[in-house]
Amino acid sequence: QVRLVESGGGLVQAGGSLRLSCAASGRSLSAFGMGWFRQAPGKERNFVAGISWTGSNTYLAESVKGRFTVFRDNAENTVYLQMNSLKPEDTAVYYCAADPDTSSYSRNYYRDTQYDYWGQGTQVTVSS
């Protein structure tokens, strides 16, 4: 069992930055592909970023490319989402998720059904 806890959310003005953290306990994250998703009020949950278990491959949604970066520190059992140049449309609850199926991760990283473990989410609000 893996427990994921997100932190780092908050209120920021447009153009600002936030760094989200996803800390894991229970198992080492080094065997998991990881993903970040977000859900705005009244909308479905969407893929934001993903990172392979070694960190050698990263994936970003088109809407955040050039602004967001995903990286991990397996020694710290933590995955991060660095968010720069934030826009009001980035406002959402952000969730991290862990996928133990490394064999299919590179094909399905953007599907929320690929992930077995989820954090409780952290709110990000970007004011205009």
Separation CA 52–CA 101 (nearest Å) = 11
Q: What is the pLDDT of residue 16?
A: 98
The C-alpha atoms of residue 59 and residue 57 are separated, in whole angstroms, by: 7
pLDDT at residue number 102: 81
Q: Which of 12, 42, 21 lies closest to 94, judged by CA?
A: 21
Is 96:36 a contact under the CB 8 Å cutoff? yes
Structure confidence at residue 13 (pLDDT): 98
Residues of the chain with pLDDT under 70: none
User: 76-97 pLDDT, tens per residue?
Assistant: 999 999 999 999 999 999 999 9
121, 94 Cβ separation under 8 angstroms: yes
Q: Which of 48, 50, 126 has the alpha carbon at shortest distance from 91?
A: 126
Structure tokens at 103: 């064999």
DSSP percent split of the chain into helix, strand, coil, nearest 5: 10, 50, 40
